[in-house]
Chain A
């Protein structure tokens, strides 16, 4: 039996960098476990609220700071208040025959709001902050770093001294100025944080591009008459994606911590909305009397950061990039 040309082709096909990396990553059990957990957390935060009977912003002053597992007997008014409809209520209670009780699995906070619902909602906000800010940092950092590294020489010098200057400004001052300028708008806080976080990314990308830009394939592209922008984004940037992805997975937790710190200063997410940062801050002030207010949000937050870090480490080992050397 003779092999067809395609079969032969398959058997000698080289394995790409990404296939190799994927194989290595799969062998790292811890990193895989963390990625699975992370997916789980994201799904819980974004889909969980559909199955949670409580609205994170509705207060019940009769059930202030109740411990985890407390039952609350619902009335039609509170059912509607938490987002149900009157028809559902009639169906559920069967005309008053079935009194409805629901459990506050994580207890309630000092204003009688369900902590589980708030933790999930806070997770949505924190995860979004982390992702959007990292994305902003990624776009600015990669574009800037690649441009500086590709240009080289004096342009590169000036561009990198500008980065040094921005790094020498105290971080907090920068963020506070930006947030006051943007009037505490949540989306703009994302952008502000991203606008500060891009500096390290730019340095990493620039260091990598500096080496790449002097290689033959770039000369070839240039001699074919390609524009610099096209060479940078089509030919150089794909080659630095490894370190960039690794650094990005490590930026997400850094940004989430920063958001938590800003919320602690009262500059982050504004009440009645919540993020993990505001919840943890609230929990830390009430720690002695109501431990659950600190424990549940911190557990979610720390587990997420833990997983992000381990997943990032796993990716780094898998891609075996010597990043962040500059």
Chain B
């Protein structure tokens, strides 16, 4: 187990380093630069700006300077938002996305898990069919349909929540539900699939033969193996859920982190792109690392694969 954990850890570091290098050069290959906005800059101003952000230096020097800063935990200043540090931008917006994301996860799990388990236990009954059809509706409806419809019903009609914005303590509810319902659908399907596979195995038959109650068989015996696909899915998904969705933020007009992922690329804000990408990649790789270790613990066969 230790050997497995250690080798996964080293692989994670390598991946993060590769993402850094790839991002650094990829964004510079695409045409355009941070100062090519709507307002044309005079050549003098542009030169000053380029010197200020070190863009006049040779590419390899920029690369190593950026790498050096990141190794010291310095995310550097934004090139587009004058006078703003990337760390500041992230500190302002990440908590919003994190709140919404974790609430969405809670919604997703509390709907998806029971639905999936019940569907698997009552396989091919009307419960199964209706739960899975509902789940598919959740998967098939784009966020930008579900979002406005929910806002219309609960915001404009019942007036329970604000339709948009981030002002009141209940403003997380609608975005979280919108996001959560979609993930709930995926989780329900994966739980059903995982549980079905386990419920067909010999040790479940043995448990039944011993005369255990159905509830005990499911909770004590089947769930541990049946949830492996869900864990494998949720690990990577977690990074995406907590760093915000641009579409959800646009629908509900939220100052979250998701917008920076998209805007920074449009703006060619090299340093903000790097900051957001590295945040995402580090989160993803970390979560993946723990997921792998967790799965290795849930299913010993994986460790020796």
Q: Which residues of A contact B22 (CB under 8 A)?
A: 165, 169
14 contacts between A and B (CB under 8 A): A161-B15, A168-B19, A170-B276, A173-B276, A176-B266, A177-B27, A253-B140, A261-B144, A280-B144, A284-B145, A287-B152, A294-B145, A301-B140, A305-B139
Closest chain-A Cβ to B265's Cβ sits at a distance in Å of 5
Q: Which residues of A contact B152 (CB under 8 A)?
A: 287-288
Cβ-neighbour of A170 out of B18, B149, B261, B285 (below 8 A): B261
A284 and B30 contacting across the interface, CB-CB below 8 Å = no
Closest chain-A Cβ to B261's Cβ sits at a distance in Å of 6
A264 and B247 contacting across the interface, CB-CB below 8 Å = yes
- Give A174's nearest chain B residue, CB to CB: B26
A161 and B136 contacting across the interface, CB-CB below 8 Å = no
Q: Which of B14-43 contact A (CB under 8 A)?
A: 14-16, 18-19, 22-23, 26-27, 30-32
> Given A165-B15, A168-B16, A177 and B26 touching (CB < 8 A)?
yes
Bound: A257/B245 CA distance, A: 14
B11 and A169 contacting across the interface, CB-CB below 8 Å = no
A180 and B30 contacting across the interface, CB-CB below 8 Å = yes
A168 and B285 contacting across the interface, CB-CB below 8 Å = yes
Query: Interface centre among A261, A284, A288, by most B CB within 10 Å?
Result: A284
Q: Which residues of A contact B19 (CB under 8 A)?
A: 165, 168-169
Q: How many residues of A contact B (CB 8 A)?
A: 40
Bound: A172/B263 CA distance, A: 11
12 extra A-B contacts, CB within 8 A, seeds A169-B19, A169-B277? A161-B18, A165-B22, A169-B280, A176-B265, A181-B31, A261-B142, A261-B143, A264-B247, A284-B144, A288-B152, A288-B156, A310-B136
Q: Which residues of A contact B281 (CB under 8 A)?
A: 168-170
A172 and B261 contacting across the interface, CB-CB below 8 Å = yes
Chain B 136-155 per-residue mask, 1 if CB under 8 angstroms from chain A, else 0: 11011111110111001000
Q: Which residues of A contact B30 (CB under 8 A)?
A: 177, 180-181
Query: Interface centre among B16, B145, B261, by most A CB within 10 Å?
Result: B145
Q: Which residues of A contact B173 (CB under 8 A)?
A: none
Query: Interface centre among A165, A177, A301, by most B CB within 10 Å?
Result: A165
Instruction: Tell me, yes or no, whether B197 is within 8 Å of chain A by CB.
Output: yes
Instruction: Tell me, yes or no, whether A114 is within 8 Å of chain B by CB.
Output: no
- Give A165's nearest chain B residue, CB to CB: B18
Q: Which residues of A contact B265 (CB under 8 A)?
A: 172-173, 176-177, 180
Closest chain-A Cβ to B30's Cβ sits at a distance in Å of 5
Bound: A168/B243 CA distance, A: 13
A281 and B262 contacting across the interface, CB-CB below 8 Å = no
Instruction: Tell me, yes or no, whether B104 is within 8 Å of chain A by CB.
Output: no
Instruction: Tell me, yes or no, whether A133 is within 8 Å of chain B by CB.
Output: no
Bound: A117/B261 CA distance, A: 36
B277 and A170 contacting across the interface, CB-CB below 8 Å = yes
Q: Which residues of B contact A169 (CB under 8 A)?
A: 19, 22-23, 277, 280-281
Q: Which of A174-215 contact B (CB under 8 A)?
A: 176-177, 180-181
Cβ-neighbour of B142 out of A172, A180, A260 (below 8 A): A260
Q: Which residues of B contact A172 (CB under 8 A)?
A: 246, 261-262, 265
Q: Which residues of B contact A302 (CB under 8 A)?
A: 137, 140-141
- Give B129's nearest chain A residue, CB to CB: A30
* Closest A-B pairs by Cβ, 4 of them: A305-B140, A165-B18, A168-B281, A302-B140
Q: Which residues of B contact A164 (CB under 8 A)?
A: 11, 15, 288
Q: Which of B265-283 contact A (CB under 8 A)?
A: 265-266, 273, 276-277, 280-281
- Give B19's nearest chain A residue, CB to CB: A168
Bound: A264/B229 CA distance, A: 31
Q: Which residues of B contact A294 (CB under 8 A)?
A: 145
Closest chain-B Cβ to A186's Cβ sits at a distance in Å of 20
- Give B264's nearest chain A residue, CB to CB: A173
Bound: A170/B23 CA distance, A: 10
Instruction: Tell me, yes or no, whether A217 is within 8 Å of chain B by CB.
Output: no
Instruction: Tell me, yes or no, whether A154 is within 8 Å of chain B by CB.
Output: no
B144 and A264 contacting across the interface, CB-CB below 8 Å = yes
Instruction: Tell me, yes or no, whether B284 is within 8 Å of chain A by CB.
Output: yes
> Given A161-B14, A172-B246, A298 and B141 touching (CB < 8 A)?
yes
Instruction: Tell me, yes or no, whether A167 is within 8 Å of chain B by CB.
Output: yes
Q: Which of A275-326 contact B (CB under 8 A)?
A: 277, 280-281, 284-285, 287-288, 294, 298, 301-302, 305-306, 309-310, 322, 324-325
Q: Which residues of A contact B31 (CB under 8 A)?
A: 181
Q: Which residues of B contact A280 (CB under 8 A)?
A: 142, 144-145
- Give B18's nearest chain A residue, CB to CB: A165
Q: Which of A251-287 contact B (CB under 8 A)?
A: 253, 257, 260-261, 264-265, 277, 280-281, 284-285, 287
Chain B 165-207 per-residue mask, 1 if CB under 8 angstroms from chain A, else 0: 0000000000000000000000000000000010000000000
A161 and B11 contacting across the interface, CB-CB below 8 Å = yes
Closest chain-B Cβ to A105's Cβ sits at a distance in Å of 21
